[in-house]
Structure 1
Amino acid sequence: MNASRAFLSFIFNCIKSFAIFGLAFASPLRAADVVKTIEHIKPSIVGVGTVQRTRSPPVNILGTGFVLDDGLHVITSAHVVPEVLDIANKESYTVITGKGKEPELREATIVTVDKEHDLALLRISGAALPAMEIGDAGKVREGQTLIFTGFPIGMILGFYPVTHRAMVSSITPIVLPAHNSRQLNAKLIGQLQKTAYVVFQLDGTAYPGSSGSPLYDPVTGVVYGVVNMVFVKGRKEAALSNPSGITYAIPGNYIRDLLLRKQQ
């Protein structure tokens, strides 16, 4: 009997030791996966803005975008792309790639815009860039940890993309019914008349320049959403006198609709 107990105790201690050993090494392995993922996707992250040679500075970065499809198309937030350019002074759309202090400017044109979901599809000149993969946003769950990479403060500190970690705090409608009529405005009424779609509410920190950044899986690099710091806030937080610092993202499934429009 004593021998049996001793044997069981030995087995239990072995299992406990392996469990502790596994916990000790699980986090570093996952961290290594994240490092590899970020290194892999960085060439797909671009700045989106306009260029005007007679302006100082000539390049104005308005947000972030990322490459997909054939490597010559870029997704960003629609509000990042100005609707009107200063054609008289030869202002044009541009996408910035490369890294560090020697970024490369690519000429860009608008292919199609989805104003309802605040998405824009651009086509860029030059050689194809590495493209990111779009996943099924319907599989994202609250509590899931994702990351996003972009240019939160533009090129002030050079062309260096920044990555933030974010948990999906909530999957919530883009607009909530107002509690009273005084909270209603034309924008809210128009949104309420449409079918309200859901957005991802995140606990990560983002800034206006982060709009258009891909929200992706830290291990696989698959994109599940597009970070949005202006459009969603204007609807979801319209009733707040002091809008929050919450970060939102548009589900990535709407990107597929834009790509289908491109083919038509």
Structure 2
Amino acid sequence: MMGLAGSQGNGRKPLYKLIFLIALGGVLLLNPAAGRADLPDTVERIRPSIVAVGTYQAMRRPPSVFLGTGFVVADGRHVVTNAHVIPDKLDKRHRERLAVFVGRGRRVQVRGVTEAARDDVHDLVVLRMEGGDPLPALALSDARVREGQEVAFTGFPIGMVLGLYPVTHRGIVSAVSPMAIPTHSGRNLDPDMVQRLKNAFDVYQLDATAYPGNSGSPLYDPRTGRVIGVINKVLLTHGKEKVLERPSGITFAVPAQHVRALLRKAGLAAR
């Protein structure tokens, strides 16, 4: 009898486990976000991957000049930002160099960088960091982005005036639409707009406001932290908003698929 009772008890354990797994699966189906991180957890996780991009010149005052935001990708030694953030010329005579600024608050580390790959059509650039330990790299999403989807982006909207403090904004994808909107009159076309119409591609329009310092910030899923786009405040303003009499405060982002393609061009594997 003792042996029989023992057999029945052991048989119940797998059954209890099965019931628990079914119940857990039902909770996750009813609330898909239950197994994912909230935005505060996501921000804390991705913050070490956000860097400031600019130039550094030791004898200049101030020595650091902020130009935009970037984020770490691939092997932890590369940074993605907007191509327009990179200056056309550096004052090499006085040893000015392209750099990223890593850290938080007043504790900032300067790392020199060089261009690894560039995509002027989508206004993207990959920078290679010189020396130092690798930083945590952000993963790129390959999921379809839908209108109405919640998003967040983290960067430096006012630069490094008060130190290196990344700022997070959240919103939704208001629309997925072509970058360049055809004008009804040929008189409104200029060579720049004609070129953009030839190379038109879809971008994400957001209901959250970004500022010039946010150029190059990662746009990501607030639950997973996976990057779905790159904030851009110049290329797209010259495209979509050029048809407006007065430029609006609409924010746009370049889809992450173009980042993935640029990483392949640089011989790098995205996470």
Do these two structures clear the TM 0.5 threshold for a shared fold by scoring above it?
yes
Match of 1:171 among 171, 176, 187: 176
Q: Provide the rounded CA distance (Å) in 1 between the counterparts of 2:208 and 2:259.
A: 22
Aligned match of 2:189:
184
Q: Does 1:39 pair with 2:32? A: no
The Cα offsets for residues 222-258 of structure 1, whole Å up to 9 and x where unpaired, read as 0000000111111111122310000000000011111
State yes or no: 1:259 paired with 2:263. Answer: yes
Identity of aligned residues (%): 50
Aligned to 2:65: 60
Cα displacement (A) at 1:118? 0.3
Q: Which residue does the alignment assign to 1:221?
A: 225
Corresponding residue number in structure 1 for 2:133: 127
Residue pair 2:36, 2:223 contacting (<8 A) in 1 also: no
Matched, 1:162 2:163: no
| Unaligned 5+ runs, structure 1 | 1-21
* Matched position secondary structure for 1:238: helix
Instruction: Identify the residue that residue 154 of structure 2 maps to in structure 1.
Output: 149
Counting only pairs closer than 5 Å after superposition, residues 202-213 of structure 1 correspond to structure 2 as 202-213=206-217
Q: Which of these residues, 65, 76, 80, is aligned with residue 85 of structure 2? A: 80
| Structure 1: distance between partners of 2:182 and 2:161 | 39
**Inter-partner Cα distance in structure 1 for 2:173 and 2:190:** 29
TM-superposed deviation, 1:45: 0.2
SS in 2 for 1:41: helix
Q: What corresponds to 2:24 in structure 1?
A: none
Cα distance, 1:31–1:134 mapped onto 2, change above 3 Å: closer
Q: Does 1:243 align with 2:219?
A: no
Q: For the residues of structure 1 that align with 2:106 and 2:256, how far apart are their CA atoms?
A: 31
After superposition, what is the alpha-carbon deviation per residue over 1:96-148, rounded to whole angstroms, capped at 9, x for unaligned?
Answer: 111111111111111111000000000002110000000115x0000000100
Does the 8 Å contact 2:37/2:224 carry over to 1?
Answer: no
Aligned-pair CA distance for 1:55: 1.7
How many Å apart are 1:31 and its aligned residue?
Answer: 10
Per-residue deviation, 1:150: 0.2
Q: Deviations over 1:67-88 (max 9, x none)?
A: 0100000000000111211111
1:233 matched to which residue of 2? 237
Normalised TM-score (structure 1) = 0.86
Larger deviation, residues 185-194 vs 144-153: 185-194
Specify every segment of 5 or more residues in structure 2 that has no aligned partner in the other structure, as ranges: 1-26
| Structure 1 Cα separation of the partners of residues 95 and 183 of structure 2 | 44
RMSD: 1.8
Over 4 Å off, 4+ runs: 28-32
SS at match of 2:39: helix
Q: Which residue of 1 aligns with 2:204?
A: 200
Aligned residue runs from structure 1 range 22-37, under 5 A: 33-37=38-42
**What residue is the counterpart of 1:10 in the other structure?**
none
User: Partner of 2:104: helix, strand, or coil?
Assistant: coil
Distance (whole Å) between structure 2 residues aligned to residue 153 and residue 183 of structure 1 = 33
Mark the CA change 1:103 to 1:30 in structure 2 (over 3 Å): closer, same or farther. farther
In structure 1, what is the Cα distance between the partners aligned to 2:176 and 2:95?
42
Describe the superposition over 1:14-71 as per-residue Cα deviations: whole angstroms up to 9, x where unpaired.
xxxxxxxx9xxx8x97997211110000000000011112221110111000001000
